[in-house]
Amino acid sequence: MKKLRAAVIGMGFGARVHVPAYQLHPQYELVGLAAMRPGRAKEIGASLGVPGFSDWKKLLHEVPLDVVSIATDPSWHREMAVYAMERGIHVLCEKPMALSLAEAASMVRAGAYHERAAFINHEFRYFKARQLVKEWIDTGRLGVPISVVMEGGGGGYDAVYQRSVNWLAQETHGGGFLGAIGSHWIDTLRWWLGDVQYVAGELLRDVPLRAEGTARADDGFAGFLRLASGASASLAWRAASPPARGTRFEVMGTDATLRVDNDETVWVSRESVWEPVALPNVQWPAAVPADAPRLLGNLVALLDDMARVIEGEAPSPLLVPFSEGYEVMRVMDAWIKSYQSGIRHFLL
């Protein structure tokens, strides 16, 4: 079986998760790196025996590639993705997909025109707990879905105050936690229950003044969503919440309610008590070390599904194509418009 030649652009999350995922997967060969910070990719590449570039276009021109991961800040996503697909390269792009709906739409069009596999890295679908919720909804074990509550936070006030005022803290670069966390939750919600009818959304700025300066993007979000199915959803996350809060989802149906804690444990309630629900064993490739970062196994599994698509097989429902990434962007856009106007914003 021919190995797929892969490169990673972006040496933050890209270096921590994308690079080792390609190295661990037997069907890929990591052949190039690029970073926006001068010297960063060359430094990392030298330690791995892989060429590193400060100019991402030079990487795409000089290194023969089958696949590229784009793990930069969102302000670069559209340009890089379209440029790669024009050169016949398949794309795995980090979220949020782009800076605007117009940019996201141009990415969808480019993928279709150039007939490239193009996916958004919503790797949280690969958590077995979220897959179990999807199974219970689709098989009717919950009854008719009524509502979803998604709540969480992390870091705590002091940790947010000390956080760097980097791209994640700047709206103009696609920063903010509606994009960083909320995009994953919106994708999961749509995957579970379908299209969103309207959004009444807020963006939070609990810690705008930081040790290094002023953050101009949200550090949390809260919102109410009505789905086309008739179900409702309440989503709330804030970076300033204590780490012990973690993340909790509750999905209520007419027959039962499922609760997911930190994507690790699942509970069911049919009356007045919570009972544990067994999850299937996670069968990551043997090469994934036991102490690997939490999302690494998810991404290796995603790369496995992406390789099958590139070879001509039907896509797994766990993969998120650019077209679905665009729908997540539509919900985020409606959320922001609702926040700006103070009224709910309709998508349907």
Q: 52-61: long-range contacts at Cβ-Cβ below 8 A with a sequence spacing of 24 or more?
A: 56/9, 56/80, 57/83, 58/34, 59/7, 59/9, 59/32, 59/33, 59/34, 60/7, 60/84, 60/87, 60/89, 61/87
DSSP string across 81-105: HHHHHHTT-EEEEPSS--SSHHHHH
Let me know whether 339 and 193 are in one domain: yes
Q: How many domains does the chain have?
A: 2
Residue 16 is predicted with a pLDDT of 93
pLDDT tens string 137-177: 999 999 999 999 999 998 899 999 999 999 999 999 999 99
DSSP string across 212-250: TEE--S-SEEEEEEEETTS-EEEEEEETTS-GGG-EEEE
Q: Which residue has the tokens 């792009």?
A: 93
Residue 13 is predicted with a pLDDT of 94
pLDDT tens string 190-244: 999 999 999 999 999 999 999 999 999 999 999 999 999 999 999 999 999 998 8
In a domain, 87, yes or no: yes
Let me know whether 43 and 169 are in one domain: no
Characterise 62 by phi-psi region: left (phi > 0), alpha (psi -120 to 50), beta (else). Answer: alpha
Let me know whether 230 and 341 are in one domain: yes
Residue 154 is predicted with a pLDDT of 87
In a domain, 292, yes or no: no
Let me know whether 133 and 260 are in one domain: yes
Confidence at 124, pLDDT banded by 50, 70, 90? very high
Residue 290 is predicted with a pLDDT of 64
pLDDT tens string 22-78: 999 999 999 999 999 989 999 999 999 999 999 999 999 999 999 999 999 999 999
Let me know whether 266 and 307 are in one domain: no
Burial of 39 (0-12, 13-18, 19+ CB in 10 A): exposed
Residue 294 is predicted with a pLDDT of 77
Angle in degrees, CA 44, 48, 49, rounded to 5: 110
> Residue 78 CB: number of other CB atoms within 10 A?
22
* Burial per residue of 124-137, b for 16 or more beta-carbon CB atoms within 10 angstroms, e otherwise: bbbbebbbbbbebb
Does the pLDDT value for residue 271 go beyond 90? no
pLDDT tens string 310-331: 999 999 999 999 999 999 999 9
Residue 187 is predicted with a pLDDT of 98
Mean pLDDT of 252-260: 98
Mean pLDDT of 123-136: 96
Does the pLDDT value for residue 345 go beyond 90? yes
Mean pLDDT of 262-283: 92
Confidence at 286, pLDDT banded by 50, 70, 90? low
Let me know whether 64 and 13 are in one domain: yes
Residue 243 is predicted with a pLDDT of 84
The residues near 153 (Cβ < 8 Å, ≥ 6 apart) are 220, 237, 238, 239, 240, 241, 242, 245
Residue 70 is predicted with a pLDDT of 98
Let me know whether 113 and 130 are in one domain: no
Let me know whether 204 and 331 are in one domain: yes
Let me know whether 182 and 312 are in one domain: no
Let me know whether 130 and 39 are in one domain: no
Amino acid at 286: A
Does the pLDDT value for residue 284 go beyond 80? no
Let me know whether 270 and 308 are in one domain: no
pLDDT tens string 77-93: 999 999 999 999 999 99
Let me know whether 151 and 266 are in one domain: yes
Residue 272 is predicted with a pLDDT of 87
> Distance between CA 186 and CA 144 in Å, rounded?
20
H-type alpha helices, the chain: 13, 19-24, 40-48, 56-62, 77-86, 101-114, 128-138, 157-162, 177, 183-193, 296-310, 322-341
Mean pLDDT of 243-264: 95
Confidence at 1, pLDDT banded by 50, 70, 90? low
In a domain, 287, yes or no: no
Q: Domain limits at 24?
A: 4-120+297-317
Mean pLDDT of 241-253: 93
Any bridge partners for residue 198, and if so which? 226, 346
